[in-house]
Amino acid sequence: MVRMQYRTLGRTGIKVSAYGLGALMFATSIGNSDPDDSARIIHKALDAGINLIDTADVYGDSEEIVGRALKGRRDNVVLATKVSRPIGDDPNQQGASRRWIMTAVENSLRRLRTDHIDLYQIHRPDPATDVEETLSALSDLIRSGKVRAIGTSAMPASDIVEAQWVAERRGLERFRTDQPPYSLLNRGIEREVLPAAQRYGMGTLVWGPLGQGLLTGQVRKGRQNELRRAGLLKHVNDEHRIEVVERFISLAEEAGLPLTHLAMAFAIAHPGVTSAIAGPRTMSHLDDLLAGVDVALTDDILDRIDAIVPPGTDVGTLDQAYVPPALQQVSLRRRPLGERAAA
């Protein structure tokens, strides 16, 4: 019998399951091509006690599939979606401006077949928009009843602090959650992001707890090309990450656990983590996740994990990790040639 844990989402008072259901793989163009099968997966997850569903406007037809599946069950779900990543080629159909947020939320509400969103998140930071502009628009959505709480995704710690200060000084609603990547392979958020979120009473919904598939047990040293040809994983190109995965496979075997159970139990063990969002594509994927909800790691196992990947460190880089403009744009890290010569 599955015994789901529930935790309070920051200081919102909202109770969410320790395992969240990510809806990326329900999009027919990305994951499961059968919407009816995706609906069955959603229903089984809800029956098992998962009450948090996380999707995004950029996930193809995911919002529509989730909206249809929740008919008659909407009131029992903490429904989260996101805005800011590009929708098409229009330069104004992206980002965190008031103009786009006000349009995008109406589109999401329509696709989700609901009159409110429980958690509306800025999918990636938007350095081109003043955070006060973003918070002002989101505050209006909360006051109108269309949104219950607001959050961010992959926001650096310094931006989290700035947003909290702006909200306090301007009398605006504040970000209540962040959704960063976190797994056995990627622990960088332990250094600053999780402490900052805890300092401000924010809930943390971590994505990628299975390392984008690397921590499923399928990925073994020497099999990367085989997996790529089968279309199972397209980003298995870091040999060091594969070596580390092999060490975790051995640790899981010694602990008598499937690697997926070790990975998920680790992701929710940190006191700063509210829920770990996993995105099953098939019913068997969900069944495996549900079979591990009771797993709690001992201090000895957590110590051995620390020995493989030290706290606060990452092994390689996720292919969907947020890269700030200061690293992406050469012009932001190099003085003009004339200034360099003068110096």
CATH number, domain of 279, equals 3.20.20.100
**Tokens at 152, concatenated:** 């961010």
Q: What pLDDT does residue 1 have?
A: 57
In a domain, residue 143? The reply is yes
Residue where the block lists tokens 């006060």: 132
Above 50 in pLDDT, residue 125?
Answer: yes
Annotated catalytic residue, options 6, 19, 59, 322: 59
**pLDDT (tens digit per residue) in 162-178:** 999 999 999 999 999 99
Q: Which two tokens stand for residue 59?
A: 């996930």
pLDDT of 124 reads: 95
- Residue of 221 and 309 predicted with greater confidence: 309
Tens digit of pLDDT for each residue in 291-313?
Answer: 999 999 999 999 999 999 999 99
59 has catalytic annotation: yes
Report residue 119's pLDDT band, with 50, 70 and 90 as the boundaries: very high
Look up the domain containing 167 and give its range: 6-342
Q: State the average pLDDT over residues 231-246.
A: 73
Q: How many CB atoms lie within 10 A of CB 237?
A: 12
Instruction: For residue 87, tell me if it sits in a domain.
Output: yes
Answer for the pair 42, 49: CB distance below 8 angstroms, yes or no. Answer: no
Q: What is the pLDDT of residues 240-279, one digit of tens each?
A: 888 999 999 999 999 999 999 999 999 999 999 999 999 9
C-alpha pair distances (Å), 165 with each of 48, 70, 180, 187, 234:
39, 37, 20, 26, 40
Residue 110 is which amino acid? Answer: R
What is the pLDDT, as a whole number, of residue 235?
A: 55
Q: Write down the mean pLDDT value for the chain.
A: 93
Pick the more confident residue, 215 or 324. 215
Structurally, the chain folds into a number of domains equal to 1
Q: Look at residue 109 and tell me whether its pLDDT is greater than 90.
A: yes
The pLDDT-based confidence of 230 (bands split at 50, 70, 90) is very low
pLDDT at 239: 80
Is the per-residue pLDDT at 227 higher than 60? no
| Nearest Cα to Cα of residue 122 among 62, 198, 45, 57 | 57
pTM of the model: 0.92
- In this structure, the number of other CB atoms found within 10 A of the CB of residue 165 comes to 13
* pLDDT bucket at 236, cuts 50 / 70 / 90: low
Q: Is residue 180 a contact partner of residue 204, using CB atoms and an 8 Å limit?
A: yes
pLDDT at 32: 92
| In-domain check, residue 1 | no
> Looking at this protein, which amino acid is placed at residue 68?
R
Angle, helices 35-47 vs 62-69, to 10°: value is: 50
pLDDT of residue 180: 97
DSSP-assigned states of every residue in 218-264: ---TT-HHHHHHTTS-S----HHHHHHHHHHHHHHHHHT--HHHHHH
